[in-house]
Amino acid sequence: MSHSNPPRPKRFSATGPLTGRIAVPGDKSISHRSLMLGALAVGETRISGLLEGEDVLATAAAMRAMGASIARGDDGIWSVNGVGVGSLLQPQGALDMGNSGTSTRLLMGLVASHPIHTVFTGDASLSGRPMGRVIEPLSLMGASFEASTGGTLPLMLRGISPAVPIRYRLPVASAQVKSAVLLAGLNTAGITTIIEPVPTRDHSERMLRGFGANLEVGMENGERVIAIHGEAELRPQTITVPGDPSSAAFFVVAALLVPGSDLLITNVGLNPTRAALFDVLRDMGGKIEEQKRREVGGEPVADLRVRHSALTGVEVDPAVAPAMIDEFPVLFVAASLAQGTTTTSGLDELRVKESDRLAAMAAALQLAGANIEEREDGLVIHGTGGDALPGTPRDTGVVTHLDHRIAMSMAIAGLASRNGVEVDDTTPIATSFPTFITLLGDAAA
Ligand code: S3P
């Protein structure tokens, strides 16, 4: 799980048009939550379309270590038999979270209100990421921590029961912090309240309700307020996970950039707290058409028909950042090929993702011949006006820093380059999108 595998470099080069129809794997955020909530419901939760990427498998392993039975059927449907809220067992060893910030932060919340202690470890990327943002509210609820210097992994968390319900205003726009506190609130008597000045992805709220938790969402002075009533009893569910818009994003940009492309991406989740990239790309002139809009598992879903388009640079409103926070790396690739300048700002959070995504993408795109200015809180990109990027020099790969989205974004840049783009390591792609390279081959066949 922790990427001890040797790096696997690969050169991505121009292909024919992307055509036909593809389906991307299940949503990562919803997959994690399905396993966690299933593990807290007494009885059998059945999940179809679960993302079988390393990050989600790390969550599955952790929930097993704390007492849940989790198995994949031959039909691809996952079955989870949970232990009940308040009944997580003391894990015998450390929980290896691999590369997954979502597993770590959400599970820290879950165990914080259980009377167990848990050690969290992770790979080099995860071990550099800030956990203070969850340590702070969970400490207010009564949990205690021994973290590495700087509030990072490895860390030990001593949970507490009964925990203290809190009213907490999110200092950063983070669905992971929000979810950690809500999950801690599940086993906390009384009402735990989160105030969210800037809305972030709301899968936790939707799914907690779906599992039968008593959760209220309202607005106070223009801010979202989410209240969860504790000592909840969750009921097992049958869940269908929609396709991940963050994975679809790579194919959307690829089809926009490669001349002649006309690609149908089926079953893409379009929760408004996730889908801002598609609006920004449409503003740039991208031909992205929604077909068969419907609901899957309580989430809006559609098929996306994407055709090659001439793109124009835009100024991206920082207010939409949380609704496309994982999509900026691939937006930077699209902007590098657009006519004119694209300006992004308010993206400080990108510096604490699986890598510093502003620095990593600026360096990678510059190596591929794009014209990029890196600022403190965003990138300014002067596009080629549709001309292919030169590509990376022979034998010099862009550095992915154990970050799946840097690897996949630069793979897409390779499709729009004259000499190809060498990616130093494709192994991190398996954390969120194990079928990425195969699907790219299928779409461009
Ligand atoms: C996620 C929230 C986001 C996102 C991550 C998944 C989630 O992180 O970047 O990939 O599932 O809650 P932040 O909450 O740190 O913004």
CATH of the domain at 381: 3.65.10.10
In a domain, 152, yes or no: yes
- Between CA 30 and CA 205 the distance in angstroms is 11
Cα(15) to centroid(ligand 1), Å: 32
- Between CA 105 and CA 99 the distance in angstroms is 12
In a domain, 1, yes or no: no
Whether 209 and 264 share a structural domain: no
pLDDT value at 265 more than 60? yes
Structure confidence at residue 298 (pLDDT): 86
**Of 157, 198, 201, 204, which Cα lies nearest the Cα of 179?**
204
What average pLDDT does range 168-186 have in this prediction?
98
Q: Which of 55, 59, 102 to mutate to test the pocket of ligand 1 (most atoms within 8 A of CB)?
A: 102
Residue at which a domain ends, from 204, 239, 274: 239
1 band by pLDDT with thresholds 50, 70 and 90: very low
pLDDT tens string 76-90: 999 999 999 999 999
Contact 36, 210 (CB under 8 A): no
Left if phi > 0, otherwise alpha if psi is -120 to 50, otherwise beta: which for 411? alpha
Residue-range definition of the domain harbouring residue 55:
28-239
Q: How far is CA 43 from the centre of its chain?
A: 28
Is 178 labeled as ligand-binding? no
pLDDT tens string 201-235: 999 999 999 999 999 999 999 999 999 999 989 99
Whether 183 and 147 share a structural domain: yes
Residues with a catalytic annotation lie at: 326
Whether 210 and 303 share a structural domain: no
Whether 39 and 19 share a structural domain: no
pLDDT tens string 361-371: 999 999 999 99
Query: Exposed, middle or buried: residue 332 (CB in 10 Å: 0-12, 13-18, 19+)?
Result: buried
Whether 303 and 188 share a structural domain: no
Whether 203 and 278 share a structural domain: no
Whether 250 and 204 share a structural domain: no
pLDDT value at 3 more than 80? no
Bigger pLDDT: 444 vs 24: 24
Cα(54) to centroid(ligand 1), Å: 16
Structure confidence at residue 2 (pLDDT): 46
Cα(176) to centroid(ligand 1), Å: 5
What average pLDDT does range 137-156 have in this prediction?
98
Residue nearest to atom 11 of ligand 1 (CA): 29
Cα(294) to centroid(ligand 1), Å: 24
Residues with CB under 6 A from ligand 1: 29, 102, 174-176, 179, 201, 325-326, 349
Residue at which a domain ends, from 183, 209, 239: 239
Cα(199) to centroid(ligand 1), Å: 12
Whether 232 and 249 share a structural domain: no
Cα(174) to centroid(ligand 1), Å: 6
pLDDT tens string 93-119: 999 999 999 999 999 999 999 999 999
Structure confidence at residue 4 (pLDDT): 65
Task: Express as a percent the part of the chain with pLDDT over 90.
Answer: 97
Contact 15, 441 (CB under 8 A): no
Is 378 labeled as ligand-binding? no
Atom of ligand 1 nearest to the CA of 353: 9
In a domain, 302, yes or no: yes
- Between CA 422 and CA 402 the distance in angstroms is 15
Whether 254 and 188 share a structural domain: no
Non-local CB neighbours of 112 within 8 Å, separated by 6+ positions: 138, 141, 142, 143, 157, 159, 160, 163, 180, 184
Atom of ligand 1 nearest to the CA of 33: 11
Is 34 labeled as ligand-binding? no
Is 179 labeled as ligand-binding? no
- Between CA 44 and CA 238 the distance in angstroms is 9
Residue nearest to atom 15 of ligand 1 (CA): 174
Residue nearest to atom 13 of ligand 1 (CA): 174
354 band by pLDDT with thresholds 50, 70 and 90: very high
What average pLDDT does range 376-397 have in this prediction?
97
Average pLDDT, the chain: 97
Residue at which a domain ends, from 239, 261, 283: 239
pTM equals 0.98
Contact 409, 250 (CB under 8 A): yes
Is 105 labeled as ligand-binding? no
Cα(191) to centroid(ligand 1), Å: 24
Whether 213 and 202 share a structural domain: yes
Residue with tokens 């015998």: 92
pLDDT value at 328 more than 50? yes
Whether 103 and 68 share a structural domain: yes
In a domain, 3, yes or no: no
- Dihedral pair phi/psi, residue 203, rounded to 5°: -65, -35
In a domain, 5, yes or no: no
What average pLDDT does range 34-59 have in this prediction?
98
Indicate the DSSP class of residue 286: -
Atom of ligand 1 nearest to the CA of 32: 11
Atom of ligand 1 nearest to the CA of 352: 15
Whether 14 and 36 share a structural domain: no
- Between CA 124 and CA 101 the distance in angstroms is 12
Q: Lay out the sheet containing 19-23: strands in order across.
A: 19-23, 262-269, 299-307, 287-296
State the angle between helix axes of 28-40 and 203-210 in degrees (0 to 180), rounded to the nearest 10. Answer: 30
Contact 61, 94 (CB under 8 A): no
Atom of ligand 1 nearest to the CA of 106: 12
- Specify which residues 148 forms β-bridges with: 152
Is 169 labeled as ligand-binding? no
What average pLDDT does range 239-265 have in this prediction?
98
- Between CA 155 and CA 138 the distance in angstroms is 14
Contact 378, 346 (CB under 8 A): yes
48 band by pLDDT with thresholds 50, 70 and 90: very high
State the angle between helix axes of 328-336 and 404-415 in degrees (0 to 180), rounded to the nearest 10. Answer: 20
In a domain, 249, yes or no: yes
**Of 100, 98, 125, 122, which Cα lies nearest the Cα of 31?**
100
How many domains are there within the chain? 2
Q: Which of 105, 196, 201 to mutate to test the pocket of ligand 1 (most atoms within 8 A of CB)?
A: 201
Residue nearest to atom 5 of ligand 1 (CA): 102
Atom of ligand 1 nearest to the CA of 176: 14
Contact 389, 396 (CB under 8 A): no
Q: Which of 36, 174, 357, 406 to mutate to test the pocket of ligand 1 (most atoms within 8 A of CB)?
A: 174
Is 29 labeled as ligand-binding? yes
In a domain, 4, yes or no: no
- Between CA 112 and CA 115 the distance in angstroms is 8
What average pLDDT does range 187-191 have in this prediction?
98
H or E element, residue 421: strand 421-423
